Structure formats: C-alpha cells, structure tokens
C-alpha cells in the first residue's frame, strides 16, 4: 500500500496549485529564473521532467535556490530514477504509467508517487496497489472530461490530476470535475518565452493559472 502511506502528502501537494506545470529544461541556466517566475505568479508546485539531460540538475537548483517552490520530478520511467530524484531534492514524483518495478522503487525510495493511468482497468490496478491519487494521462486522448465524469461514480475514491492536451482555455472544464484536484500543463512554460528569457510572460501565465480553482 504505497500511496496510502503518503495519501495526505500527495493530496496536499495536488491541492496547493490548480495547475502543475510540466517543465522540460533545455538550458540549465533557465531553471532558477523559471521557477522564481512561476512562484511569483502563485504556482508553487513544479514538475521537472527527466525528458532532458538537465532534469536532475534543474531539480537540485530549484529546490536549493527558490524559496516556496515544491519541486517534483516527472517522467519517472525507470526504478533507479526515484532515489536519484529524491537525492536531488524532489519531494514527489510523477510517472506516465505504473509497473511493479516502479511501485517497488516508490516504496524503497520513500518518494511519494502520482502515477499515470489511462483506462478504468489501469485505475483499478493502481488502486489495488494502494494508490488513490492518480494522473490521467494523456488526458484528452483518454476521453478528457467525459472520461473523468464517467468513472467518478464507480471509482469515487480516486482523485485525479489530468495531464496531456490541456490548455488555459480548457483547464477550467477539467477542474470543474468533482474528482479532479488539479491539472498538469505545459502551456505555462512556452519554449519561446524560455529561450527569450521572458520571465514576465511566465509570471503572467502563472498568475492566470493560479486563479483557476478546482470545485
């Protein structure tokens, strides 16, 4: 029963920000100013993915240098990444799916995990492993709001963070679902703004996102 051990911790993190930005760092120099810009706009929970070689270094820099940031690690796909991310300063993890090896790694590392699911059967499998907070991924291809509303009845004890295909224009629709605590999105960190060092734009996007709230 992994997630059950961290139920309150994971849920508290999900409820801290209505939107969790999905961050891919291509230039390590962007890590700290980006995190500061997001926190300044009211978005404190940051998911730094391991999709680039700078992922762990960015997590460490944000965790050490950005007060108020709650830094997590995303795109966990291999068991050995859990301990490395925890040691870098991550306080939670996010995975695109869930396997027995990832469950074991979450348990051994002590890193609270928000695992990805796409179908009702995957939700039930994750629940049997002790998880009650899940990431619906990819949310829009998985059925979006319709899927979330449909499974809210038979799987009423699950709280979701839908991620994948969500934008500022559709986020409110997802947050209106009774089984959604927050959403994940990459629109808060557009690549052009990062490359230009336009941190004011990032803060503006974060401010707009922080004003969204789950029902």
Which pLDDT value is given to residue 8? 75
* pLDDT tens-place string over residues 181-190: 999 999 999 9
Looking at the annotation, which residues are catalytic?
Answer: 47, 135
Which residues, in sequence order, are bridge partners of residue 139? none
In a domain, 215, yes or no: no
Q: CA-CA distance, 80 to 168, in Å (whole number)?
A: 34
DSSP 111: -
Stretches in the chain below the pLDDT threshold 50:
5
Buried b (16+ CB within 10 A) or exposed e, 93-110: bbbbebeeebbebbbebe
- pLDDT per residue over 102-140, tens digit each? 999 999 999 999 999 999 999 999 999 999 999 999 999
Pair 185, 172: CB distance under 8 Å: no
Residue 25: inside a domain? yes
Q: Is residue 188 in a domain?
A: yes
Structural domain includes residue 115: yes
CATH number where 9 lies: 3.20.20.70
pLDDT for res 5: 47
Total domains present in the chain: 1
Domain residue limits at 140: 2-210
Distance of alpha carbon 105 from alpha carbon 160, whole angstroms: 22
What pTM was computed for the model? 0.94
pLDDT at 6: 54
Locate tokens 């830094």: which residue?
71
The pLDDT value given to residue 114: 97
Sheet of 113-117: strands edge to edge? 159-160, 133-136, 113-117, 93-95, 70-74, 45-49, 19-23, 183-185
């Amino acid at each position: 029963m992994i997630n059950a051990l961290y139920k309150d911790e994971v849920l508290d993190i999900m409820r801290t920000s209505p939107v969790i930005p999905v961050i891919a760092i291509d230039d390590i120099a962007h890590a700290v100013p980006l995190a500061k810009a997001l926190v300044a706009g009211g978005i404190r929970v940051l998911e730094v993915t391991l999709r680039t070689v700078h992922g762990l270094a960015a997590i460490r820099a944000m965790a050490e240098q950005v007060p108020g940031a709650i830094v997590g690690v995303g795109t966990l796909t291999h068991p050995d990444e859990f301990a490395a991310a925890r040691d870098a300063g991550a306080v939670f993890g996010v995975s695109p799916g869930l396997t027995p090896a990832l469950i074991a790694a979450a348990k051994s590392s002590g890193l609270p995990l928000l695992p990805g699911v796409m179908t009702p059967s995957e939700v039930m499998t994750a629940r049997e492993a002790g998880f009650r907070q899940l990431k619906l991924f990819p949310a829009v291809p998985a059925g979006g709001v319709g899927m979330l509303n449909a499974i809210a009845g038979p799987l009423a004890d699950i709280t979701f963070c839908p991620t994948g295909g969500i934008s500022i224009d559709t986020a409110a629709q997802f947050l209106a679902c009774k089984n959604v605590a927050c959403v994940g999105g990459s629109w808060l960190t557009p690549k052009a703004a990062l490359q230009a060092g336009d941190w004011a734009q990032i803060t503006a996007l974060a401010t707009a996102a922080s004003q969204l709230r789950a029902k």
